[in-house]
Amino acid sequence: MMRMALAVAAGGVVGTLIRFGVGNWVNANWPRYFYGATLAVNLLGCLLIGYLYMTFLERPDIPLEIRAGLVVGVLGALTTFSTFSLDTLRLLESGQIGVALGYLVLSVGGGLLAAWLGVSLARL
């Protein structure tokens, strides 16, 4: 368990630094498009989680610590949108279209509502 926690922590450092670097680069080069950093890391994270998911399915010999370090650590710190996207895709692929659409609407709509509520509470 300790090796797993260390792998996730190390991956988290890498993912956080990538996100920080992308954010600084976008803000330095295109400050008007501040949201570009979030879009970039979300798309990159989605690409990587799809690739890693299939790689790990085809290569069960890859140690669990490496899998967790990359997916939970690196991608978890880089973006959780990648996990959300993969979960939705897996629901769609398994034929659970209603659950997938509900998950999509609740995640995006609920996330926006929760952010608005947080902003509103802070303004009180």
Annotated binding site for Na(+): 76, 79
Residues 80-119: b if buried by 16+ CB within 10 A, e if exposed: ebbbbbbebeebeeeeeeeebeebbeeeeeeeeeeeeeee
- Find the helix or strand (DSSP H, E) in which 33 lies: none
CA 110 to chain centroid, in Å, comes to 17
Q: Report how far residue 96's alpha carbon sits from residue 78's, in angstroms, rounded to the nearest whole number.
A: 28
Crossing angle for the helix pair 97-123 and 81-93, to the nearest 10 degrees: 150
Please enumerate, by residue number, every residue annotated as part of a binding site: 76, 79
